[in-house]
Amino acid sequence: MKRILTALLCLVTLFSCKKEEPKEPPPLPPVVNTGDISGKVTHYDQFGTAYTSNLNTTTVSIEGYGFSTVTDALGSYTLSGVTSNTYTLVFNKPGCGLIKKQKLIYTLGDTVKYDISVADIPTFSLDMVYAKDTSWFNGTLKGIYYGASASVQNKKAMVVAIFGKTQNLDIDFPATYLNYVTASRADTSDFKRFFSYSLLKDTYNFKKDSIVYMRIYPVSTLGSSYYDSKFNTPVFTAHGIAYPTLLSLYVQ
């Protein structure tokens, strides 16, 4: 009996000295490595008046990555499941100029809203354009002035001119022109639309008596262009048909 008691005592002691098995740690929360790019698209008519309906038809996509969504009734959009990277957002609405937002640096967790404006492709035309140099008046600013009038009686009708050294100027292809004049109202004075001779000579290497070619387009008042990082210039996409006459003047 004594031996049995001793054996039982040893077993009790053995089990009491046994170490506790380590508990498994709780599972870690899942790693979130994607987020959302969101914003709002404002849609303007050709004269800069914002629409309040039909805002749910703009397709928003990430160029080259397959992400795509469509705006809701308020013009808002969200692209989900996006990783940190540098992207180009593309905004495509039927009847409007295609707009891009290039070199958008998205970092996971960003809360910045990427808003954009799109505009109807203008339907008004230009019924008269001209280009003059300072020989036509006693101006102090030496250069080339241009003007245009629109086929509509709307003070918000806008025009833009592009210029270059060759005749193949096309506003859809920035490589065909050297520069542009900031879009201005069709009824604005000549001084708002001006290429100085010093700009043409010093910046673009025009020599005296070389020809400057100009082409003039109607454009929408707001949301007509986006900045192209490759060509370092705005690209006008909400524009109408250029006035058929190609203008030319000699650099003095």
Q: Same fold for the domain at 35-119 and the one at 126-250?
A: yes
Domain assignments of the chain as residue spans, ordered by start: 35-119, 126-250
* Structure-token pair, residue 233: 């210039």
Instruction: Look up residue 29 and give its amino acid.
Output: P
More confident residue, 30 or 78: 78
Q: What is the pLDDT of residue 166?
A: 95
Evaluated on CA atoms 4, 8, 9, 13, the torsion sign reads positive
Average pLDDT over residues 138-144: 74
Give the number of other Cβ atoms within 10 Å of residue 99's Cβ. 23
Up-side HSE of residue 130: CA atoms within 13 Å toward CB? 8
Helix (H, G, I), strand (E, B) or coil at 146: strand
Calpha distance 188→168 (Å, rounded): 27
Average pLDDT over residues 148-152: 89
More confident residue, 175 or 191: 175
- Look up the pTM and report it: 0.81
pLDDT tens profile 66-89: 899 999 999 999 999 999 999 999
Q: Are strands 158-164 and 184-185 parallel, antiparallel or unpaired?
A: antiparallel
Up-side HSE of residue 8: CA atoms within 13 Å toward CB? 5
pLDDT tens profile 88-126: 999 999 999 999 999 999 998 888 899 999 999 999 999
Highest mean pLDDT: which range of 2-11, 57-66, 104-113, 179-188: 57-66
* CATH no., domain 126-250: 2.60.40
CATH topology of domain 35-119: Immunoglobulin-like (2.60.40)
- What lies within 8 Å, CB to CB, of 70 at 6+ separation is 56, 57, 58, 59, 60, 77
Nearest CA to 150 out of 80, 240, 18, 60 is that of 240
Tracing tokens 């009708």 back to the chain, one arrives at 157
Q: How many residues does the chain have?
A: 252
pLDDT of 8 strictly over 50? no
Q: What is the pLDDT of residue 136?
A: 58
Average pLDDT, the chain: 86
Contact 194, 181 (CB under 8 A): yes
